[in-house]
A and B are shown apart, each in its own frame.
Chain A
Amino acid sequence: MWTDFKRIVRTGFVHFIRNGIVSIAPILIMTVTLFVVGSLIFMNALLDTTLEQIQNRVDVNIYFNSAADDGDVLAIKNSLDALAEVASVEYVSREQARDDFRERHKDDYLALQALEELDENPFPAALNVRAKETSQYESIARFLESRNALSTGGEIIIDKINYYQNKTVIDRLTKVINGAEKLGFAVTAVMALISVVIVFNTILLTIYVSREEISVMNLVGATPRYIRGPFIIEGMLYGIIASIIVMIFFYPATNWLGAITEEFFGGANIFDYYIGNFGRILGIITGSGILLGTLSSVLAVAKYLHR
């Protein structure tokens, strides 16, 4: 068994080297295919980062009236924190709200003077709630409307929830995000399918040249495993070499595009993503190459491996 395995691997390597120019076509096609796979990974990463940034800009603000003390507000904060849909809850005290106003209007003398003339702090305490998904804001708003959330000791302490003012924008954004994710998946699936068909046909053509060889192997009594093995090794080698070429190519390409994507996609640097996820990208590209080469070889040899 081990001897057979060694012989199959050795024969696969020898075939690959001796095939010379014949090996170039499948390697080139597979390089293009893996380049498409890699590009889809980067596009998905950019899409995810962009959508995440948009999602992070959306939140719901709960403004409390003057009857609410810190304990009431923190009790609601804790109950919101316990919700599965909630990503974060930020508490802004009345003092903090006033300080923020001062900071924002530090160059606006009139606004600051107006604030100083008031007897008491006019700013309400607030909670800024961020959901994990934009579609979850509605259920959070419903939770806040419930009696337990709105009152403490029977008294209404929430003055305003701005979800309903932002509802149209949030709903539209939810649709855009869902649509973009579905489109991204569909494009990835279609491109991957086209790539598989092209690679399969190229390897089929390469093995077509060897159909006489396969019939001779059959005649000298080689087992199907022994006939198929070296072709599978060749297919794997196509995938490995193509993935090395693609990974090398992505280094200068993402380096060049990094600054452009950072500016265009608001902070998403594709080169940083490439370096930060090198192991994962290498794994996906090489794995796809090996899988594609192996599968195509198995199917192509099966076409000529009859009795």
Chain B
Amino acid sequence: MIHFDNISKIYRNNTPVLKDINFSIDRGEFISIVGHSGAGKTTLLKILLAEERPTDGDVFFDSVRIHHLPRSEMVRFRQRVGTIFQDFRLLSNKTAYENIAFAMEAAGRTDDEIETDVPNVLELVDLGEQMWSFPHELSGGEKQRVAIARAIVNQPDVIIADEPTGNLDPINTYEIVQILKKINDLGATVMLTTHNKGVVDSIGRRVITMERGKIIRDDQKGKYAL
């Protein structure tokens, strides 16, 4: 489904961030990418999201080179990918409901669909009561659950989660991991970056370990090994 083909990234100051990254992800997989800070995990995700271009190589999504997509196709590609970030990236001037509705509006969904699906997905992440709260009125865990609801509401093919538990306490971390596993069980491919050993070990699925921009391990049923 996703294939990283000889991806390298060198920043303008000649700092190499990624070197010859090659791996594939199958549909329905749950893959954790681990590594210390500066290992290149976030850059890898940014390249997959086409927020950054690789210096060399290509990323294929269903056999299509995503960095060569025209703007209109890029919009459609991003609607097939749900994103979750450590800093939540919610729209601060919109309520929880509106943040999720916005993603649906952007995907061209009807008002009726929005009115039905947004409350449902908020119930799914246990936030039915906070539907009309603004981000600044929510706790870190609640914000992350809104971000997850926004990521899954359009039923994307892939969920990309960049350190989603980095700002959360152990209880919220556990809950978020359980939600991600549930999403994966429902058929979505999940790609998670983290340096939380507990999270990786509790998932018990494929683990790619990165160090200084290179893949040093790729274990099908891995553990955190740094």
| Residue contact A219 to B76, C-beta cutoff 8 Å | no
Verify if A223 is at the interface (C-beta below 8 Å from B): yes
Q: Which of B91-116 contact A (CB under 8 A)?
A: 91-93, 102-103, 105-108, 110-111
Verify if A139 is at the interface (C-beta below 8 Å from B): no
Verify if A165 is at the interface (C-beta below 8 Å from B): no
| Residue contact B93 to A15, C-beta cutoff 8 Å | yes
| Residue contact A222 to B93, C-beta cutoff 8 Å | no
**Of B76, B93, B106, B111, which contacts A220 at CB under 8 A?**
B106
**Of B71, B83, B92, B108, which contacts A219 at CB under 8 A?**
B83
Verify if A61 is at the interface (C-beta below 8 Å from B): no
Verify if A213 is at the interface (C-beta below 8 Å from B): yes
Question: How would residues 204 to 235 of chain A score, 1 for a CB under 8 Å from any chain B CB and 0 otherwise?
Answer: 00000000110111111111101000000000
Tell me the bound Cα distance from A152 to B158 in angstroms. Answer: 100
The residue in chain A whose Cβ has the minimal distance to the Cβ of B87 is A212
Question: How would residues 39 to 64 of chain A score, 1 for a CB under 8 Å from any chain B CB and 0 otherwise?
Answer: 00000000000000000000000000
Which range holds the interface residue count of chain A? 20 to 34
Question: How would residues 12 to 31 of chain A score, 1 for a CB under 8 Å from any chain B CB and 0 otherwise?
Answer: 00110011000000000000
Verify if A142 is at the interface (C-beta below 8 Å from B): no
Q: What distance in Å separates the Cβ of B13 from its nearest Cβ neighbour in chain A? A: 21
Q: A15-B93, A18-B93, A213-B91 are contacts. A222–B74 as well, Cβ < 8 Å? A: no
Q: What distance in Å separates the Cβ of B8 from its nearest Cβ neighbour in chain A? A: 20
Q: What distance in Å separates the Cβ of A178 from its nearest Cβ neighbour in chain B? A: 51
**Of B77, B83, B106, which contacts A222 at CB under 8 A?**
B106
Verify if A307 is at the interface (C-beta below 8 Å from B): yes
Q: What distance in Å separates the Cβ of A215 from its nearest Cβ neighbour in chain B? A: 8
- Other 7 A-B pairs with CB < 8 A, given A216-B91, A222-B75, A223-B106: A3-B110, A213-B92, A219-B89, A220-B78, A220-B103, A221-B106, A221-B154
